């Protein structure tokens, strides 16, 4: 699988990223921006980006923590049992604001437009956990470019107490949206699901919002809550979403 290690210039400094390409040649390909979960870029996220690329996409995996140079990757096996590491994780998550996601996606889109591996202007996004929230935020920010947006066990999607909650800006979205929640997920419970569905419907957004019989983190293999059946279901959903909204040549 061809993987290019790259640097994306942003207004807040350089962002390390990798561009994952199909191994069968025949590009250029539609691009997808792949937002990692709270654990950040690591081997599991790289492997997931590879898998998506094999479906026929140029997949950009950025370091969403690039404003914290030298940050140490998290060990997902122990981060929640180690109080210090759990506190560090929470601090890192809080450090990435909605405005930062908007600033970064402008830079990512400009960068992708200049890459010969990328076809067309329409771009997809997908994200996991905090990345699922980012995927929805940037879809509203750049409706001119983002044609498909997925959130997989994303948290904070419809929080009435949060002025930056994605459900507040659904009217700006022009992408087709796919959201996969989980039955065991306090960050996106039934009430939040209903608020998001109502907002997407009111905004005229073409959408699918599903609740999987699984726990938060079900799609990411190094999570303790990984669920193989749920993970395969989400891959099938992503394939269908992008096949419709980001058709390949």
Q: What is the pLDDT of residues 4-31, one digit of tens each?
A: 999 999 999 999 999 999 987 788 999 9
CATH code for position 156: 3.40.50.1820
Q: What is the pLDDT of residues 92-143, one digit of tens each?
A: 989 999 999 999 999 999 999 999 999 999 999 999 999 999 999 999 999 9
Q: How many residues does the chain have?
A: 249
**pLDDT greater than 70 at residue 249:** no
63: Cα separation from own chain's centroid: 12
pLDDT interval class at 65 (50, 70, 90) = very high
Rounded to an integer, what distance in angstroms lies between the CA atom of residue 205 and that of residue 116? 31
The boundaries of the domain holding residue 23 are: 3-245
Angle (nearest 5°) at CA 176 between 173 and 181: 95
- Give me the pLDDT at residue 248, please: 75
Residue 179: name the closest of 101, 247, 234, 240 by CA. 234
Map tokens 């470019």 to a residue.
145
Rounded to an integer, what distance in angstroms lies between the CA atom of residue 9 and that of residue 16? 9
For residue 69, count other CB atoms closer than 10 A to its CB.
Answer: 10
The count of structural domains within the chain is 1
Q: What is the pLDDT of residues 171-181, one digit of tens each?
A: 999 999 999 99
Side-chain-facing half-sphere of 215: CA atoms under 13 Å: 6
Cross-strand partners of 10: 13
Higher pLDDT, 78 or 234: 234
CA atoms 45, 123, 240, 177: torsion sign:
positive
């Amino acid at each position: 699988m061809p993987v290019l290690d790259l640097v994306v210039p942003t207004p807040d400094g350089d962002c390390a990223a990798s561009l994952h390409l199909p191994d069968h040649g025949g590009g250029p390909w539609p691009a997808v921006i792949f937002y990692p979960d709270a654990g950040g870029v690591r081997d599991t996220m790289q492997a997931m980006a590879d898998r998506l690329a094999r479906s026929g996409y140029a997949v950009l995996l950025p370091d969403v923590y690039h404003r914290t140079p030298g940050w140490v990757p998290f060990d997902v096996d122990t981060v929640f049992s180690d109080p210090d590491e759990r506190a560090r994780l929470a601090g890192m998550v809080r450090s990435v604001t909605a405005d930062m996601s908007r600033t970064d996606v402008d830079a990512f889109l400009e960068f992708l437009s200049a890459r010969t591996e990328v076809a067309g202007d329409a771009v997809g996004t997908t994200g996991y956990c905090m990345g699922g929230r980012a995927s929805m935020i940037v879809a509203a920010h750049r409706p001119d470019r983002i044609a498909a947006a997925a959130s997989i066990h994303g948290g904070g999607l419809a929080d009435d107490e949060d002025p930056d909650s994605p459900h507040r800006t659904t009217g700006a979205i022009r992408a087709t949206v796919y959201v996969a929640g989980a039955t065991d997920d306090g960050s996106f419970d039934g009430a939040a699901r209903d608020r998001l569905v109502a907002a997407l419907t009111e905004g005229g957004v073409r959408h699918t919002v599903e609740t999987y019989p699984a726990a938060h983190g079900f799609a990411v293999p190094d999570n303790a809550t990984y669920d193989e059946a749920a993970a395969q279901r989400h891959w099938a959903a992503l394939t269908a979403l992008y096949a419709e909204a980001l058709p390949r040549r």
